[in-house]
Amino acid sequence: MKIICIGRNYTDHISELKNEKPEAPVIFLKPDTSILLKKQPFFIPDFSEEVHYEVEVLIKIKRVGKHIQEKFAHKYYDEVGLGIDFTARDLQQKLKEKGLPWEKAKAFDGAAVVGEKWLTKDSIADINMLNFSLEKNGETVQKGNTALMLWKIDELIAYISQFFTLKIGDIIFTGTPAGVGKVAVNDRLTGFIEEQQIFSIQTK
């Protein structure tokens, strides 16, 4: 399986990082080795002084597809989840300045938290009106709503599948809202979709 991530998909997060609104979604990949193993803590890597959490809504692909039309995109997933796109921000900044790919900053081991709980699409009233949030040590640090996405989930699936064949089990990280920040040792990060807890992890 592969993980396809979308960058800069929320207007407020763009202004926070002083990025320009892109003409098309920014896409990058994480390998399966980046998935944080179940019940394991997230070990802050020693090559970064500034690892940031980015809470994101996840989509799990259930059918193989290529060149999927937006109007059919909803047929390609029926589970929605939540995760963290951990980012070594200092390293990413250096790579960006040199025009180099971001993988070292975003695709390292443990950099993809995939919440153990998935919600079925049927259990959600409107997928484009979904509240989600992240708590750090009991305090809400990020709050988002999928209504604020620059590119909606079905648009993302259509766009991504122009370049990559989507396969069963692939996961899309749909981008993060404002409020990204640094993690320290012994932080507890807990993610919610609406009122439901989707994951809770510890940093080491």
Angle at 139 between CA 135 and CA 140, to 5 degrees: 55
Sequence-ordered list of residues with C-beta below 8 angstroms from that of 158, at least 6 positions apart, any chain: 68, 69, 70, 73
Q: Report in angstroms how near the CB of residue 104 gets to Zn ion at its nearest.
A: 15
Burial class (CB in 10 A: 0-12, 13-18, 19+), 32: exposed
Q: Report in angstroms how near the CB of residue 8 gets to Zn ion at its nearest.
A: 9
Residue in 59, 85, 153, 203 binding Zn ion, rule: CB under 5 A: 85
Distance (Å) of CA 12 to CA 33, 58, 142, 149: 30, 19, 11, 10
Q: Report in angstroms how near the CB of residue 64 gets to Zn ion at its nearest.
A: 25
Q: Does 179 bind Zn ion (CB under 5 A)?
A: no
Separation of alpha carbons 112 and 157, rounded Å = 19
Q: Using CB under 5 A as the criterion, what x/- string covers residues 41-80 for binding Zn ion? A: -------------x--------------------------
> CB-wise, 85 or 154, nearer to Zn ion?
85
Instruction: List residues near Zn ion by CB under 5 A.
Output: 54, 85, 176
